[in-house]
Amino acid sequence: MADKTVFFTGGAGFIGMHVVPMLLERGYKVRIFDNMFRGDRDAVGRLVESGDVELIDQDVRYGGAVQQAMKGCSHVIHFAAVSINKSQADPYESMDINMVGNHNVFAAAADQGVERLVFASSASVYGDPEKLPMHEDDRLSPLTPYCISKRAGEDLLGFYQRRAGLSWVALRFFNVYGPGQKTTAYYTSVINHFVNRLRNGEPPVIDGKGEQSMDFIHVHDIARSAVLALESERANVPVNIGTGIDTSIADLARILIDAVGADVEPVFNPRDVLVSRRAADVQRAKEVLGFEHTISVRDGMTDLIRNGG
């Protein structure tokens, strides 16, 4: 594997920092391409000292820089993006980074004939699901500039596959949580909110009956899926990465109460809420990648609370 180098945009971010050690373990060298807007400079510095990781402090908006930095790389993982909340606050920036950035990375990968490109897509491409579990062939209805760019990214990969034989996998990550996550994370901020209250001796407050749900998946499993996607025999499809289990907000509150060991009951705030639910159909992940989650929500959350990971 000595000649295998992964060009990894956004590799210094939350999920990236869990993927890089797995890549090194498998004998890859890693070239992180990240503008460090949200990257963890200290953690990257420690990895760079290992000798098999380089950091290119650059921006995916600059196509020339992407082309130049990708030279000599055999594989690409494209994670650089700005988040859903920022995409609503500033659609212009979001289009530049998420749409133009996607294109710069995909076009360079096609030009340079890399063996495989793995793209971080998102479960948010489905919009509000019409049924559970959510299957890859369901109707897509992306609602924000972020989600629209993820869907367009998948379509662009199809273009470069047809035009230049690019081999790709788009991973539709569900609700990722785990050590290293920023407390501002859009969907999973509820975890942080509940935990902060519990640590202050206050009960979690739940709107409505707490029936709204998410498919929480631990970042360690997410990272495994990215490595599997880099090496899978089948490619050129979007693949859901979730547990297949929808955990309601009420269930989450109970799991966190147990994990913190607090002697409280959740408080229900009676009001009408739009109940949205999410759970991935996980069949394709099994068939295409041989992927199944290994960490249950209860174990993952408990570990996060008790050991910081």
Ligand X SMILES: NC(=O)c1ccc[n+]([C@@H]2O[C@H](COP(=O)([O-])OP(=O)(O)OC[C@H]3O[C@@H](n4cnc5c(N)ncnc54)[C@H](O)[C@@H]3O)[C@@H](O)[C@H]2O)c1
Task: Give me the residues that bind ligand X (CB under 6 A), please.
Answer: 9-10, 12-16, 34-39, 59-61, 79-82, 97, 101, 120, 122, 173, 175-176, 185
CB closer to ligand X, 70 vs 257? 70
CB closer to ligand X, 101 vs 145? 101
Shortest gap between Cβ of 89 and ligand X (angstroms)? Answer: 14
CA–CA distance, 194 with 22 (Å, rounded to integer): 31
CA–CA distance, 250 with 268 (Å, rounded to integer): 9
CB closer to ligand X, 165 vs 308? 308
Q: How many residues does the chain have?
A: 309
CB closer to ligand X, 13 vs 266? 13
Shortest gap between Cβ of 264 and ligand X (angstroms)? Answer: 27
CA–CA distance, 110 with 159 (Å, rounded to integer): 10
CB closer to ligand X, 66 vs 114? 66
Shortest gap between Cβ of 59 and ligand X (angstroms)? Answer: 4
Shortest gap between Cβ of 203 and ligand X (angstroms)? Answer: 26
CB closer to ligand X, 37 vs 267? 37
Tally of CB atoms within 10 A around 299: 13
Shortest gap between Cβ of 232 and ligand X (angstroms)? Answer: 18
CA–CA distance, 119 with 172 (Å, rounded to integer): 9
State the residue number with the nearest CB to ligand X: 13
Cα–Cα distances (Å) from 211 to 34, 253, 278, in that order, read: 38, 11, 11
Shortest gap between Cβ of 252 and ligand X (angstroms)? Answer: 15
Q: Where are the alpha helices (DSSP H) in the chain?
A: 16-25, 41-49, 63-70, 84-89, 91-94, 101-112, 145-164, 189-199, 219-231, 249-260, 283-284, 297-307
Q: What angle do CA 92, 94, 98 make, to 5 degrees?
A: 130
